[in-house]
Structure 1
């Protein structure tokens, strides 16, 4: 094993053994002590390799028992990346997306079904904001907030980022109206009309909306649901076209929940430096990691090429339109654009959130939320195992959704009105591509509890899609 990447070599060896069924589903792996002895590695190196495998859903840790190959439903396999590379093109967003957003259904099959009571973290957050609203700084109601945002909130954000291996000063952060606003500022600062932007495929449809509005061209880079963007494909694209920026979500990318390995992050940064790229990092799902919270790409940024964008909307509340951006070499430009387009945010809301962070309310909320989301992900996996036919499902270790690949020939766009007629709102796969790819795919979210009504909504989908058992029978195939 090479001295620099010993943990990666062990990770690869273990993964190969799992895929070759050297250890079967649910079987215990060799102990940490045995792996140290057999491979001549330190305990920390072995633990790091095991943590990476666990973050990808390949193994599970059982307290006082050891590490085991993850038990996956027999009928659930990982989707295969089949995105094709096409020349740069202008973006035209499918009007169906507006219908979904208008129904507030981006993360819910039944958007009209509201939970009866907010979780404890949201109650504590609301109290912190209410206290800040009742006790504004003397005379502050007569003044706008500073363009960069409340310094107390920025200080708390730097503390949280430092825990994730990313050290930023308060002056390197700017508060925004959510992550979409941060992405908008990043593109405005780093690109001009007609520039080419590389994106993950499948990727976030909100990015497609921004590219269309800013009259930028898009080029789609194939992305796998377990490790993210294909960097060799990106390299080939960079050699052929003058790409100005690349938008990536290294931590639990939507729609499949991909987690980019550290070696791939380093490769991406090397390409950015070689081809003079702005790398726009969408880190909105970073805090949702079920077993570990990955370090952001920004923490590796030695040449000030990574623009970090994030918010609290996926980890705390969709109603809290509060995000942040760290603009690297474009930061001054970002502050100017924010001043022109937004002017200022609510100082009281920012101060309330800062107090919530400082008092430990956010950390406590995340501990509860991660466990809840992991349980709801597993429940969804179990229910999807009952779907007939060749159905493949991603198994993310963070985020809010899975990517479902149905048999070839099924058209999820055509199924949308049929599902809507039964009161169910789906998110078809072509919305995650500028070129209309992934017609047989869809995104399903586990953000909400699986109530009886949501279970029933999910259960009607196989018939709507016209799914039939594989091989014409009831046989289950191995993953």
Structure 2
């Protein structure tokens, strides 16, 4: 459900993107907005105050609201490079070894255990105690626990996707699900369309499987550009397209329904599989959009997801719905994983059935929204920023600096100050986006993390002036 103040927010943001109100421009008065949009003063004030909290607007006493920063400027590459083999930078391994994919200060104590995790642990503990006799000596069935698949199907139905538990298979996380999807519908040497910038985990899989990548430009507010994808498909035979339409990393973009339908149309025309990474959908602050899979009438969309971004990264449980490749995917699961933990699945199923997951999502969405707003206020004061995304879900924002800022060169200097950055080239096959940075709001902005965040502007100023000696 989208509230009226949210509709007004979207309308104002679109007006800023379209340069109806450029930076420094005054918005229509509250009275004018009330009359034009047929809204109450309280509704208009709520929308304006939320945009002010994000650093998009500035309230000036006795004057009104003014635009402070360009909102969601598209970040699109004008040239599409030919398909190429993938080589993932060693920098990614360094970041992962530091457990820093979503944290500036990965070694900082994360604080108390959330209420949801306490409840989840109890459910898992009860499931373990229920194991009787020699049950622990048997493997789980290939598709995974039937009750967990039932709960996932019910959860999908609430998002507008009607599916059954027989169309779902449990995996050891979303990365495993993506791996199975690519193995099922591709052969070594095939060309795969990926988002640019896009998820580095997908690039790792392409390298491992001997697949070639062609990068399709995205915008930081609406994701993969269907017209750019059409250009790609007219030039090269593409076996599959991997995309994340709901709050994708690194930008948090949300793909509109029109673009989703257009991509499905192109997939049908060019006989292409669509591999949907749906892992961030449940983090939506005000809405949980239906997956592209809900629009699939030809059984060519493979949906992959997990609990790692919405509940716990330590909970290595994911799922896949394999469309026409589902039987092959279940066989590949036997080859690559054999089986999943039964008591872990049973505990999560109980957690979902008792309403624990839904309750957790309601709390978490509010928490993430507040953290995003705090980050937006900080980013609006950073030097040499050309644009940054303001996602309505997900865990991160994509920051683009002026072209002469080299974020990649800043990485080791930041480490000396105890800060771990996630530079833009990690999200590209071609090493572009050297002047870009993904920054996460997944963790609380406590005093230590705010201190780490405050160090980044100085690093940027030094990078602009030249190398730090």
TM-score in terms of structure 1 length: 0.86
Matched, 1:366 2:347: no
Q: SS of 1:372's equivalent?
A: helix
Count of paired positions: 438
TM-score in terms of structure 2 length: 0.88
Matched, 1:254 2:249: yes
Matched, 1:439 2:434: yes
Q: SS of 1:258's equivalent?
A: coil
Change in 2 beyond 3 A, CA 1:89/1:285: same
Change in 2 beyond 3 A, CA 1:180/1:29: farther
Find the counterpart in structure 1 of residue 137 from structure 2: 142
Q: By how many angstroms is 1:80 displaced?
A: 3.2
Of 86, 93, 117, 1:91 maps to 86
Of 260, 276, 293, 1:281 maps to 276
What are the Cα deviations for residues 177-214 of structure 1, in whole angstroms up to 9, with x where unaligned?
00000000000001000000000000000000000000
Find the counterpart in structure 2 of residue 116 from structure 1: 111
Q: Distance in 2 between matches of 1:393 and 1:262?
A: 23
Find the counterpart in structure 1 of residue 373 from structure 2: 378
Q: Distance in 2 between matches of 1:198 and 1:384?
A: 31
Aligned residues of 1:107 and 1:447 also touching (Cα < 8 A):
yes
Matched, 1:317 2:276: no
Q: Distance in 2 between matches of 1:246 and 1:128?
A: 37
Of 337, 340, 343, 1:345 maps to 340
Q: SS of 2:302's equivalent?
A: strand
What are the Cα deviations for residues 335-355 of structure 1, in whole angstroms up to 9, with x where unaligned?
000011110000000000000
Find the counterpart in structure 1 of residue 218 from structure 2: 223
Q: By how many angstroms is 1:421 displaced?
A: 0.7
Q: By how many angstroms is 1:139 displaced?
A: 3.7
Unpaired runs of 5+ residues, structure 2, are 1-7, 57-67, 465-469
Q: SS of 2:247's equivalent?
A: strand
Q: Map of 1:15-414 to 2, 5 A cutoff?
A: 17=15, 19=18, 20-21=20-21, 25=27, 68=48, 70-71=51-52, 72-73=55-56, 74-75=68-69, 77-83=71-77, 84-136=79-131, 139-414=134-409
Q: By how many angstroms is 1:15 displaced?
A: 6.6
Find the counterpart in structure 2 of residue 425 from structure 1: 420
Unpaired runs of 5+ residues, structure 1, are 1-9, 37-46, 48-60, 470-479
Q: SS of 2:275's equivalent?
A: strand
Aligned residues of 1:389 and 1:467 also touching (Cα < 8 A):
no
Q: By how many angstroms is 1:152 displaced?
A: 0.3
Q: SS of 1:402's equivalent?
A: strand
TM-align CA RMSD: 2.6
Q: By how many angstroms is 1:77 displaced?
A: 3.8
Aligned residues of 2:9 and 2:47 also touching (Cα < 8 A):
no
